[in-house]
């Protein structure tokens, strides 16, 4: 069975030659490692703390222990000077991303107290307790030559908020990388005919993020729909009433059809243990599949808001982006920019189809549409704006040469008029202006869809990209 949570390895480094020379130094430094272990502890994270590694024999043992524990990331705490030979065997065998902690115990040495000790051996021991920076150049030189990627956090063990913000960021990014690596992405239907930008290499998606792609059949969703009972429909209609602001002009037939499809969609997701999904389908007029696909928006919106993002138009790359944003706790609503308000210097963004009601400004409205523009059928859709305040946009971009990259931008969701057309609609203000954002964003060649989430989390996205060994470009 696969582990159900993130595992983080931790070890400190020192030099065993010092311990008999400087009384109490080893115990003091091991206490510092314990402080870091406590800071790393979280309910959904297991910390594998190997303590002090101070010679080659312990390094070999530590490497085997980390691999045996199946850790996802390692924090290496340079507590004092240590030989690089006590580091390379550990990290090389663990074969996971490594964060080098260069943390001295306080912001500065108390020079007066140190110089007043009167015993140069004790004075040297005190200095060595502050000597975290000393071995880092040696360690990273070896990492570079061994082609081992590494990341650094430099600062103070006690009373330095920057250090623990960085630690939190790396843990958050590792947690998202873990979720993506174990995610099951469902794909149902086919691409929207002619949208060349959204076509993607699913093998590349799995190779980059991990996870599994489950190819689904519309026939299976149809069979699940036929098994939905009137009681199931009534229960789902009650949930619609709780979750959405259902407008008075929504007719009972379309509401019941949306409820039936929503229940069936939940059962499809549960059956295949899906963590995200992308779909598109058209069928032919009058076919049962047309009824299902034209009534899928409300159920998809409920799933999106409950941690299973659903992307329309078979936009697999954007299903991945939405899952990333949702895994960071930011939401992740399907969107695209479609116009600019140059008078107010904002970009208008939204999309037809599912929305993320948990990040909406107010309650999401359900409106009837006589036509789904560019698609088949008619029925119910959702209308919402993303909560006002800081937001982050994310696109998973497939590049020339068969690689993926993350493209992100930070903005503000702002108040103002929107088009009440039964789609998601928001107004976003960018630090580089509407014109600057559009041109900078386009210059990197993303597909026309992206995911939007609340909060400014670009720093987390950069860290996630680093853990995945892909690039992350931030336009603002």
Last residue within a domain, chosen from 137, 159, 180 = 180
Q: How many domains does the chain have?
A: 2
pLDDT at 376: 61
Range of the domain at 175: 6-180
Last residue within a domain, chosen from 148, 180, 212 = 180
* Distance (Å, whole) CA 240 – CA 252: 12
pLDDT at 283: 83
- Whether 29 and 67 map to the same domain: the answer is yes
CB contact set of 416 (below 8 Å; sequence gap of 6+): 341, 344, 346, 427
pLDDT at 135: 96
| Conformational region of residue 194, where left means phi above 0, alpha means psi within -120 to 50, and beta covers everything else | left
- Whether 195 and 266 map to the same domain: the answer is yes
- Whether 32 and 129 map to the same domain: the answer is yes
- Whether 316 and 428 map to the same domain: the answer is yes
- Whether 68 and 130 map to the same domain: the answer is yes
Radius of gyration (C-alpha) of the chain in whole angstroms: 26
- Whether 276 and 209 map to the same domain: the answer is yes
Residue 1 counted as domain residue: no
User: How many residues make up the chain in this entry?
Assistant: 476
- Whether 162 and 192 map to the same domain: the answer is no
Buried b / exposed e over 271-289, threshold 16 CB at 10 Å, is ebebbbbbbbbbbeeeeeb
- Whether 98 and 195 map to the same domain: the answer is no
**Model pLDDT for residues 404-455, shown as the tens digit of each residue:** 999 999 999 999 988 777 778 899 999 999 999 999 999 999 999 999 999 9
Q: What angle do CA 341, 342, 347 make, to 5 degrees?
A: 45
Q: How many CB atoms lie within 10 A of CB 46?
A: 18
Q: Say whether pTM exceeds 0.85.
A: yes
**Model pLDDT for residues 79-94, shown as the tens digit of each residue:** 999 999 999 999 999 9
Angle between helices 218-226 and 252-272 (to 10 degrees): 120
CA distances from 464 to 309, 310, 328, 461 (A): 19, 22, 10, 5
Strand pairing class (245-246; 365-369): parallel
Last residue within a domain, chosen from 130, 148, 180 = 180
Residue 291 counted as domain residue: yes
């Amino acid at each position: 069975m696969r582990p159900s949570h993130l595992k983080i390895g931790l070890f400190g480094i020192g030099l065993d030659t010092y311990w008999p020379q400087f009384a109490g130094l080893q115990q003091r430094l091991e206490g510092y490692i314990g402080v870091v272990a406590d800071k790393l502890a979280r309910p959904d994270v297991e910390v594998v703390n190997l303590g002090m590694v101070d010679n080659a024999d312990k390094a070999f043992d530590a490497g085997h222990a980390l691999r045996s524990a199946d850790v996802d990331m390692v924090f290496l705490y340079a507590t004092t000077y240590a030989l690089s030979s006590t580091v390379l065997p550990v990290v090389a065998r663990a074969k996971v991303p490594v964060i080098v902690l260069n943390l001295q115990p306080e912001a500065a040495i108390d020079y007066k107290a140190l110089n007043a000790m009167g015993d140069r051996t004790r004075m040297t021991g005190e200095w060595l307790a502050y000597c975290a920076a000393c071995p880092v150049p040696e360690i990273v030189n070896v990492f570079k030559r061994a082609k081992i990627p590494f990341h650094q956090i430099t600062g103070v063990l006690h009373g330095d908020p920057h250090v623990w913000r960085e630690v939190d960021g790396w843990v958050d990014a590792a947690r998202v990388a873990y979720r993506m690596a174990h995610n099951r992405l469902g794909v149902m239907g086919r691409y929207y005919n002619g949208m060349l930008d959204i076509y993607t290499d699913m093998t590349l998606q799995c190779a980059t993020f991990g996870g599994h792609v489950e190819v689904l059949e519309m026939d299976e969703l149809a069979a699940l729909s036929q098994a939905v009972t009137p009681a199931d429909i009534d229960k789902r209609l009650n949930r619609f009433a709780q979750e959405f602001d259902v407008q008075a002009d929504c007719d009972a037939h379309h509401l019941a059809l949306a409820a039936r499809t929503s229940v069936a969609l939940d059962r499809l997701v549960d059956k295949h243990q899906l963590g995200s999904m992308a779909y598109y389908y058209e069928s032919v007029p009058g076919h049962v599949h047309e009824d299902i696909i034209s009534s899928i928006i409300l159920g998809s919106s409920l799933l999106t808001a409950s941690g299973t993002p659903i992307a329309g138009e078979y936009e697999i790359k954007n299903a991945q982006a939405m899952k990333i944003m949702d895994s960071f706790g930011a939401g992740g609503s399907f969107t695209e920019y479609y116009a600019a308000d140059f008078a107010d210097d904002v970009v208008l963004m939204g999309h037809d189809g599912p929305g993320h009601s948990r990040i909406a400004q107010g309650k999401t409205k359900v409106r009837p549409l006589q036509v789904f523009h560019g698609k088949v059928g008619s029925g119910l859709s959702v209308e919402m704006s993303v909560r006002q305040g800081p937001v982050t946009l994310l696109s998973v971009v497939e590049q020339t040469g068969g690689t993926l990259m993350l493209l992100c931008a930070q903005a503000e969701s702002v108040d103002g008029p929107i088009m009440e057309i039964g789609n998601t609609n928001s107004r976003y203000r960018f630090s580089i202006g509407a014109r600057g954002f559009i041109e900078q964003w386009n210059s990197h060649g993303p597909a026309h869809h992206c995911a939007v989430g609340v909060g400014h989390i670009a720093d987390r996205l950069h860290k996630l990209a680093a853990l995945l060994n892909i690039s992350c470009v931030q336009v603002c």
